[in-house]
Amino acid sequence: MPDRMYKTLALEVVDHVGWLTIDHPPLNLFDRALMSDMMAAARHLSEDEQVRVVVVQSADPDFFIAHADVTLIEAVAAADPASDPDSSFFHAMTEQFRQMPKPTLGKIRGIARGGGLEFLAALDMRFCARETTRLGQPEVTLGIIPGGGGTSRWPRLIGYARAMELMLGGRDFDADEAERYGLVNRALPEAELDDWVDQLARRMAGFAPHAIRLIKQVGQGQGSLEDSLAAEHRAFLTSARHADALAQMRRFMERGGQTRPFEAGHPFD
């Protein structure tokens, strides 16, 4: 049955599985509207006892989430951190998903870069379509660092050296590379992805919620992420305020950044 209405998302709950579908044309850009809807959806899904598993997917087969809105990054860099609610909102939003006491799965088709990939890093599991998936942390190409959890989460998830290749290389990973490096749990044939994720989600939804909650609670106990996120945020603001970074972000937008034809290519090579 359909659930709550959002501007950039659709939410449907079926057999205790919450299907959260991103639908924010033309690129599923992580802007204020999408972040706000994601935060609201995370709170609702956390509290809804009828939802035992959450799957995040995209209505656009070409873009899961393109990346964070570069104009928003510029605005955050120019604002006073003490008075700007956007400064740490992304961390708060992704932490809502990470700390959710139920499994969270990302079902990926198409492109997920920058903040889109950092959002996926906050989920418990990631599954992607082998034919279409491209994942990347291209922030370094704009003179900034991954500031939505990437420099804190990826070394914990895939190891330091592989995380450095992902973030310092700034290039796209295809589905097979992503699976080999641990960015995703599995890369599946396009035709099999929906059924595979659906079956896994339904299976987990049938297990005792308290057991799921405790497994997550213990499994995530790998030291303090809070301190790391705080340090990352300070470094991110420093990088985003640098004159070279500001110039590169402006050039990116002037070249056609955040338009569909440009993003469908390889804008960060």
Maximum Cα–Cα distance across the chain: 53
* pLDDT at residue 125, rounded to an integer: 98
pLDDT bracket for residue 1 (50, 70, 90): very low
* 112-170 tens-digit pLDDT: 999 999 999 999 999 999 999 999 999 999 999 999 999 999 999 999 999 999 999 99
Domains of the chain from N-terminus onward:
2-191+209-263 (3.90.226.10)
Q: Taking residues 165-183, what's their average pLDDT? A: 98
Tokens for 21, please give them.
Answer: 């579908």
* pLDDT at residue 263, rounded to an integer: 93
The yes-or-no verdict on residue 178 having pLDDT over 90 is yes
**Interatomic CA distance for residues 181 and 192, integer angstroms:** 21
* pLDDT at residue 225, rounded to an integer: 77
The residue whose two tokens read 């998936």 is 133
**Interatomic CA distance for residues 166 and 203, integer angstroms:** 32
Q: Taking residues 50-67, what's their average pLDDT? A: 98
* 73-93 tens-digit pLDDT: 999 888 876 655 555 899 999
The yes-or-no verdict on residue 4 having pLDDT over 70 is no
| Percentage of the residues of the chain whose pLDDT score is greater than 70 | 95
Instruction: Tell me the average pLDDT of the chain.
Output: 93
Tokens for 12, please give them.
Answer: 């449907």
Q: Taking residues 212-218, what's their average pLDDT? A: 86
Buried b (16+ CB within 10 A) or exposed e, 175-211: bebbbebebbbbbbeeeebeeebbebbeebbeeeeee
Task: Kindly report whether the global pTM for this prediction surpasses the value 0.95.
Answer: no
* pLDDT at residue 210, rounded to an integer: 87
